[in-house]
Chain A
């Protein structure tokens, strides 16, 4: 009897403890949900109407410092605080987890395929009503109103506010952030800035330099590296298209047939064979770095930062950290300059394209956002010229000065600050700006919207070695090293075409990528006599995949864009 009583007591205890634990959990949940909208609890003095916006940035990054000047200003004047979450590790994994849990932050900054995943999952709210509301959201309306067709998703709603490609006034294309063959300035300088047009000339020059300087800073000179990282497939796969005179359309090349477009995958076509045959030769000549095929992205960047790599094919934004690092080390001659290399002189280069609207990139509002109207109000406010000036240039008198003609300029110290990663964390809202809708071109005052594209500022800000290089080639800007780009095709760019998740085409596309990443490195390293045979085998493997289905998908989407986006931009 006594025993069973004790049993009862124990039982009750367990129940009690459990219920405490559970109720604590629930309370936590309520508090957690409440604290973002009602920051009163935090007890800050000025926090009564500060709204915290949880913001996801779909790439790696560093949290800005707590006393960041610009974020502080935004907080003071607009009453919002952005709490950033960056990707650590695999973006797809993070996005997958976020979607399966339905656990979205308020604001989501996407930059490529993950956009589709979110949209498919219904994670974003439609934004067209905001964009069309000229009264309450004047800046957004001005910015996206004319482009509403382009940013509308196939289901008829606009979800993403593209962060690049909306132009105001004059748009100067001073430098390229896209694909190119990049070469160290020192190489060009050494041989008196020769005219480099073809792939053969490019490699000849690299080889000459290697012969002359087998070592740089006490380490072996590396002629050419290729990043073979599956997640960043362009340095390995895309060069043939640009060499053949096609603009960057990702893994396809697009021909105009009559009035229609025809997209083809090219990783198994003859243009690719021509390129990889050359790379194969160069591998055996000791120009192509064998480490290319075992390096990961971080090792690649650190190798480039060492200043002993002479050439590479990549998109500038992908290796810019190496460039910045060389700048900080004051190895200006070791920094890279783009060359629009083609297969032979009859081909016109089309590396440089007019800036395009990337419909998969930018901020979107998640369905979990507590107050989407307010968030959109803030984005609208930040699109105002004054805020744009603060975000892109900084504070007048601190980050830039104004001359008697009203033109903005900077001192060298300001420029150096601007280029310093560490300074940026304290004094710029870099990550926010990157993903926000922004003005590109010129402000109403005639100044360029950012220092990088202000012509005078651009030229003044160049290092001596680059200025020397540009004047040797008789141009003022890096952009002028390229052929002036023609008008973009309407559909452009095809790389922003998404292949739906879970479709057979997506799997086929991944198979193709796998084949390329497995066999191309092997082919490059194989002996030259074996090349033909291996190439034939590679083409066979490619053709076993349903390439036609993938191409059909591209063509369908291109046609849709042509129909929806109208005859001209």
Chain B
């Protein structure tokens, strides 16, 4: 063993590479079953996630669907679509709204989910725990269309529960037209999102908490740690890695619709002319000026922009996590 190591050291670098390649080949050989199992997934990912990327070409065209349309007989317009996207006078506010609401959602959903999970974790009566959990995650399963209607009914000036409550508590004198005032929109968004998502988000943390070694708690108890201390020094550090992975994933969705970041449905369903200055996000803008107007190129350009920002954010947060010595996603 040692001999061969020595030998390799004295040989030329080409040979080193050869041995490396051989090593790699060995690893591949060793894991060939795993490799084969991943082939269908790779094919799936290629077909659905990479192959459609050729559609990005559309962003540099003035794409018009028509009978003989292909990707290559369209008019090429260079960066015109991006120029239009960035120079629309309200692009600034669209971007502000997107990021603003995403950040609100990110922070609120993490804090509330972790707090709820911590509290549920402390409940020892299984029945009570399950009941609370079920009630809190029920709203997650109704679609945003219905949820938005519930929200708008609750906020109505016409016997809406929120206005009725605030008026009878003498907090306000007259019902407020919540949805018509742009300044309330982000707040409504944050609260509605928490209401809808918190129970479901907490499940993941509860799972992480369940996997913490009970010995740690016992040991801490013997050392005289109270509830708060145990939460602070055992539970929270125990879910840290889960937290970081989720954070990285959620940051990727800062500009997009998926992953509960909520950059589209809520704003689309509850956005009104009078609150548009604070409700229009990139996705809503793209729908209105891109897809609805048959301007697919603009929609593609906006999509590309979002993807690029998302990828850079993921790398950024990932890098941070690495620096802090935490688990990473990539």
Contact = CB atoms under 8 A, between A and B. Distances in A.
Given A122-B66, A518-B274, A100 B180 contact: no
B67 A121 contact: yes
Interface in B37-89: 39-40, 62, 64-69
Q: How large is the interface on A (under 10, 10 to 19, 20 to 34, 35 or more residues)?
A: 35 or more
Contacts of B178: 294
Contacts, number: 108
Nearest to B152: A294
Interface stretch (A63-71, A88-96, A437-445, A484-492): A88-96
Contact of B64 (A93, A120, A291): A120
Nearest to A230: B273
B294 A96 contact: yes
Interface string A109-132: 000000001001111000000000
B152 A100 contact: no
A10 B36 contact: yes
Given A291-B158, A293-B273, A367-B67, A117 B177 contact: no
Nearest to A220: B158
A192 interface: no
Interface residues of B, number: 37
Contacts of B32: 3, 7
B152 A99 contact: no
Contacts of A502: 62, 64, 293-295
A330 to B, nearest CB: 24
A516 to B, nearest CB: 8
Contacts of A520: 273
Interface stretch (B2-10, B17-25, B284-292): B284-292
A168 B279 CA distance: 51
B65 A121 contact: yes
B220 interface: no
B257 interface: no
Contacts of B158: 220, 289, 291
Contact of B294 (A220, A501, A514): A501
A122 B65 CA distance: 9
A528 B177 CA distance: 18
Contacts of B295: 501-502
Contact of B292 (A10, A92, A367): A92
Given A293-B180, A299-B152, A506 B273 contact: no
Nearest to B62: A502
Contacts of A296: 152, 269
Given A294-B177, A299-B152, A518 B276 contact: yes
B242 interface: no
A554 B228 CA distance: 72
Given A294-B152, A507-B289, A14 B62 contact: no
Nearest to B297: A502
Interface string A471-509: 000000000000000000000000000000110001100
B251 interface: no
A122 B64 CA distance: 11
B192 to A, nearest CB: 14
A31 interface: no
B36 A14 contact: yes
Given A14-B39, A294-B152, A294-B272, A96 B291 contact: yes
Interface in B170-198: 177-180
A522 interface: yes
Contacts of B69: 121
A244 to B, nearest CB: 23
Interface in A306-357: none
Contact of B156 (A99, A228, A291, A506): A291
Contacts of B276: 514, 517-518
Contact of A121 (B62, B64, B288): B64
18 contacts: A90-B287, A92-B294, A93-B291, A96-B292, A102-B67, A120-B66, A122-B67, A123-B67, A230-B273, A289-B158, A291-B156, A291-B157, A294-B177, A296-B269, A501-B64, A502-B295, A518-B273, A518-B274
Given A14-B36, A121-B64, 16 more contacts: A3-B29, A7-B32, A100-B65, A121-B66, A220-B158, A290-B180, A293-B177, A293-B273, A293-B274, A294-B152, A294-B180, A367-B67, A510-B288, A520-B273, A521-B273, A521-B274
